[in-house]
């Protein structure tokens, strides 16, 4: 029986896109570079903040420009990551229902570890048993390292875990870890991106909860 649900953060638990967009454009404009649209930033996220900035900076910019934009983003986002960010509808209730059923809950994100922990502490205080973001010398998703770390730290084995995310990166992470996966359609990628993984796709938090708890007494 499954007993551990590991969640992606951005696009799965929290709608973070508008704050990411604002910090991206602040950082770009600090170097005189053109702003990016909300939809562009939506396509850029998923592989960590450094990759977001590398994608947002126009082709042909010198590496030191990208470095400065990255530094400006980190400063701005640290102070403005909770302006428009909010949980997706039904997420707090779904998490509470899983906790009531005895599930352990974790987060594995490609966002830097410090803002991940700050966001979870603010929006979901006391809910999660493990929260892991991007750190130096630890491979990011879709590498399974942080999933394995979470499973081990909570005294589970990989067969008891389900990974929940909204993107192709998340589907590949679950495949690399060898654990079950549920993908959600309300995040930053469309359903067509999720279909190739053959995982259940939830269109609402009620559907997600039903998929996760199917077969429980």
Would you name the residues annotated as active-site residues?
8
Kindly state the tokens that stand for 54. Answer: 């590398």
DSSP helix/strand/coil, 178? coil
Terminal alpha carbon distance of the chain:
11
DSSP helix/strand/coil, 106? strand
| Cross-strand pairs, 178 | none
Whole-angstrom distance, CA of residue 86 vs CA of residue 21 = 14
Long-range contacts of 112-121, Cβ-Cβ distance < 8 Å, separation of 24 or more: 112/48, 112/49, 112/74, 114/78, 115/77, 115/78, 115/81, 116/9, 118/81, 119/9, 119/14, 119/16, 119/81, 119/82, 119/85, 120/9
Parallel, antiparallel or unpaired: strands 86-87 and 201-202: unpaired
Give Cα 142 to chain centroid, integer Å.
Answer: 12
């Amino acid at each position: 029986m499954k007993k551990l649900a590991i969640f992606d953060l951005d696009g799965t638990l929290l709608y973070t896109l508008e704050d990411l967009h604002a910090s991206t454009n602040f950082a770009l404009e600090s170097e005189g570079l053109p702003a990016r649209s909300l939809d562009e930033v939506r396509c850029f996220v998923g592989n960590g903040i450094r990759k977001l900035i590398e994608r947002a900076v126009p082709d042909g910019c010198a590496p030191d420009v990208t470095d400065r934009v990255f530094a400006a983003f980190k400063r701005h986002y640290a102070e403005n990551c909770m302006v428009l960010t909010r949980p997706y509808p039904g997420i707090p209730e779904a998490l509470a229902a899983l906790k009531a059923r005895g599930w352990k809950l974790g987060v594995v994100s490609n966002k830097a570890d410090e803002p991940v922990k700050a966001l979870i502490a603010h929006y979901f205080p006391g809910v999660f048993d493990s929260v892991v973001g991007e750190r130096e010398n630890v491979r990011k998703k879709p590498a399974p390292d942080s999933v394995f770390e979470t499973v081990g730290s909570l005294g589970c084995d990989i067969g008891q875990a389900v990974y929940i995310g909204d993107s192709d990166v998340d589907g590949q992470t679950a495949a690399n870890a060898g654990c079950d996966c549920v993908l959600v359609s309300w995040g930053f990628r469309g359903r067509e991106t999720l279909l190739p993984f053959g995982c259940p796709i939830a269109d609402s938090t009620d559907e997600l909860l039903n998929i996760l708890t199917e077969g429980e007494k």
